[in-house]
Amino acid sequence: MTGCTVTCRAEGPRTVITLAGELHLAAVQQAERAIRDGRREHGEHLVFDLAPLLFLDSSGLSLLLRFYLAAEGRGGSAALAGPVTERVARVLQVTNLDQRLTIYPSLPEALAAMPEITGADPGRSCAP
């Protein structure tokens, strides 16, 4: 199995977190550190770009869910952007998270559809 490469960048007031490769148990700790660093640097309005993600297991899904819910709990926002691979889509479907989380067909669509952000970014803490 290969690992997961995480890149974070600001896209206006949003933090775009791109996950590439395989997000599984062996890669979760490193991915979590990278996501925390990106969130600390760019803020709590997160868009997870899953288009280059090839594989997602339950530990990777748990990581995504923790950050997704933490962002919303801190007054931020979160969304997932695709297109997702069949393997990733299947994990989201089996867990029924495709019905509970906001998943956009592409990164540009996610960025365009998310609500406008006004005022200062709520807290840039480092724990999910």
27-76 pLDDT tens trace: 999 999 999 999 999 999 999 999 999 999 999 999 999 999 999 999 99
Intra-chain end-to-end CA distance of the chain, in Å: 26
Burial level of 27, CB count in 10 A (0-12/13-18/19+)? buried
DSSP strand pairing (14-23 vs 53-56): parallel
Please report where in the chains the tokens 């998270």 appear, as a residue. Answer: 97
Please state the pTM of the whole predicted model.
0.89
